Amino acid sequence: MSKKFTVSIHGEKHLSRHYEVDGSLKKLLYMGLFLILFFLSAIFFVIVYLSESLDVSRNEEYFARSEYEKMKESHNALYESMSQVQTDLLEKEKALEDANIRMNQIEMQMGMKPPLQEPLEKKLENVELTLEQILPMMQYIPNGSPIEYKGITSRYGYRTHPKLKKREFHRGSDMKASMKTPIYATADAVVEFAGYHKRSGLGNLIILIHNYGFKTYFAHLNKVTVKMGDFIKKGDLIGYTGNSGLSSGPHLHYEVRYIQNTLNPYWFIKWTIENYKEIFTKIKRVPWETLVETINPKKTKVSLFDSE
């Protein structure tokens, strides 16, 4: 049987040409045709696979975007809730402070607590204490800067909150500081609170209890290095500055309180042995006359209260 076959090509004017093709070439032609069909099929299946993968990716992207929008709405709701809680807390603290002031006034009217008088303040301005008398006061009452002093970014008093955009009373001084600046205790103390304070918006917070009714607050910290109940000496490291809580950037929110009264921390930050008398006239809500005598009962009584 012959392995050859004839290919006829008909042209114009009824002319025909005949070619004899070997059988092996026929196989090659069939194989080529098969390969072309195979590659076309492979390309088709690849296109179908990529199309399905693209649809899956689009579905995943849509799902991820939906989840993101849900998380965003949840975050906004939580932020509004925290803002409302902080506002309520500040209002309650303000009400408590006002009640304390009214109680003081009632006690004064009843003769239970004599008011501070101008002559005694003037006498304190003129008193000269020895170094031995000053040192205990500087050890037990907050003084000096808790961090390397680089200025105040937001002062004590009424302001518009940078995050809440509401006008409110700022109970401390926001001290300029970069992230993780070391913070030191400004007087001997016991740690009353150390950790994340959820309700106030102050973030990582340290509260120190000092002698004679003073407290200091250190807020928005990056890290706390003390725990509740620790005894702290003046100058001890207690934490590092940060941006936790309702904060618009790294800094230290520093407060000084006496009993229930908030005091302007700036004058305590600037208070040193060299200008120890300045605090007596700058801070009016502390009974300095009695306090100084209590710290040095035998050494200051004559100096403070003699008529000379």
User: Over the stretch 195-245, which tens digit does the pLDDT of each residue have?
Assistant: 998 888 899 999 999 999 999 999 999 999 999 999 999 999 999 999 998
The CATH architecture one would assign to domain 144-270 is Distorted Sandwich (2.70)
Question: What pLDDT shows up at residue 131?
Answer: 82
Greater model confidence, 41 or 270: 270
Please say if the pLDDT value at position 113 is more than 60.
no
pTM equals 0.57
> For residue 204, with 0-12 CB atoms within 10 Å meaning exposed, 13-18 middle and 19 or more buried, which class applies?
buried
Residue extents of the structural domains in the chain: 144-270
Question: What pLDDT shows up at residue 114?
Answer: 45
CA distance 153 to 94: 23
Task: State the residue for tokens 């070619």.
Answer: 19
Could you give the count of Cα atoms lying within 13 Å of 265 in the half-sphere of its Cβ? 27
Give tens-digit pLDDT for 158-182.
Answer: 776 666 677 778 888 899 999 999 9
Buried b or exposed e, range 275-285, using 16+ CB within 10 angstroms: ebbebbeebee
